[in-house]
């Protein structure tokens, strides 16, 4: 019977250790319209017509692959409100038309969120799913822990700049224009909740265990 009492105390300890975990919550915000599917071939004219009602930079193709350029470059900001809980994981996704990652080299010159560098992460994602000219591709990256403090503020700004070589129907091009269809941020959070014994540490646990043991002994004497 004593073993059963000790098991009860250990279960109490486990419950207390979980008291800092939260009711999980997911924050997700999408900017722009998700107007085309992953891998879909879309002409520049169709992109501009379909996205015309969206806010910049999601409303039009930016830059050009031709000799005059320029390369694609854009900024956009999320606004979902500050986060009081603990961020456990976050992802950032974009739908990019004509990113041309099928061309040699890396097509991402810079990619940041709140100043946190994501360039290598996006280059890796784009090289793993090479984009052909005139195609929209979805690219999702898991944000590093170093970006969590920026996300907690509730209004992070994302910046993306591409670079040549681009990719045209006749081969590589010196510049890399593109269209940004949408961008989605998803944040998993956990907010602290009171434990079974609020504020109890090791002394509180010992007291609870002793109380259970005393109750058992008194019950045996009565029996």
pLDDT tens profile 69-122: 999 999 999 999 999 999 999 999 999 999 999 999 999 999 999 999 999 999
Q: Per-residue pLDDT tens for 117-148?
A: 999 999 999 999 999 999 999 999 999 999 99
- C-alpha distances (whole Å) from 116 to each of 9, 87, 120 are 45, 16, 11
Residue 144 shares a structural domain with residue 54:
yes
Residue 165 has pLDDT above 80, yes or no: yes
Containing domain of residue 202, as a range?
196-223
In a domain, 55, yes or no: yes
1 exposure class (CB count in 10 Å sphere: 0-12, 13-18, 19+): exposed
Q: Per-residue pLDDT tens for 24-79?
A: 799 999 999 999 999 999 999 999 999 999 999 999 999 999 989 999 999 999 99
Residue 187 shares a structural domain with residue 206:
no
Domain tally for the chain? 2
In a domain, 38, yes or no: yes
Band of residue 194 on the pLDDT scale cut at 50, 70, 90: low
Percent of the chain past pLDDT 90, that is, above it, reads 71
Residue 42 shares a structural domain with residue 77:
yes
- C-alpha distances (whole Å) from 153 to each of 57, 80, 87, 142 are 22, 9, 11, 18
Please state, in angstroms and rounded to a whole number, the distance separating the CA atoms of residues 29 and 111: 19
Residue 112 shares a structural domain with residue 204:
no
Band of residue 192 on the pLDDT scale cut at 50, 70, 90: low
Band of residue 202 on the pLDDT scale cut at 50, 70, 90: very low
- Whichever domain contains 50, its CATH number is 2.60.120.1200
Residue 158 has pLDDT above 80, yes or no: yes
In a domain, 50, yes or no: yes
Residue 79 shares a structural domain with residue 144:
yes
Residue 150 shares a structural domain with residue 164:
yes
Residue 207 shares a structural domain with residue 149:
no
Total number of residues shown for the chain: 223
Residue 187 shares a structural domain with residue 208:
no
Q: Quick check: pTM over 0.85?
A: no
- C-alpha distances (whole Å) from 85 to each of 150, 156, 191 are 14, 17, 4
Average pLDDT, the chain: 84
Cβ pair 155, 130 in contact under 8 A = no
Tokens representing 59?
């409303």
> For the chain, what is the largest distance between any 2 Cα atoms, rounded to a whole number of angstroms?
95
């Amino acid at each position: 019977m004593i073993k059963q009492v000790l098991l009860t105390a250990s279960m109490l300890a486990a419950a207390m250790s979980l008291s800092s975990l939260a009711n999980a919550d997911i924050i997700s915000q999408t900017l722009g319209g998700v107007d085309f599917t992953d891998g879909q071939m879309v002409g520049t004219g169709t992109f501009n017509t379909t996205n015309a009602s969206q806010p910049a930079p999601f409303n039009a193709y930016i830059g050009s692959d031709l000799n005059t350029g320029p390369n694609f470059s854009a900024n956009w900001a999320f606004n979902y409100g500050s986060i009081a809980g603990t961020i456990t994981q976050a992802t950032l996704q974009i739908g990019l038309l004509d990113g041309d990652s099928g061309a040699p080299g890396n097509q991402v010159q810079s990619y940041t969120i709140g100043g946190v560098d994501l360039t290598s992460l996006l280059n890796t994602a784009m090289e793993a799913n090479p984009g052909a000219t005139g195609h929209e591709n979805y690219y999702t990256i898991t944000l590093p822990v170093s970006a969590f403090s920026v996300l907690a503020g509730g209004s992070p700004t994302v910046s993306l700049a591409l670079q040549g070589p681009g990719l045209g129907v006749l081969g590589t091009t010196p510049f890399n224009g593109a269209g940004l269809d949408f961008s989605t941020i998803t944040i998993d959070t956990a907010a602290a909740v009171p434990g079974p014994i609020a504020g109890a540490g090791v002394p509180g646990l010992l007291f609870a265990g002793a109380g259970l043991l005393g109750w058992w002994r008194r019950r045996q004497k009565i029996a």
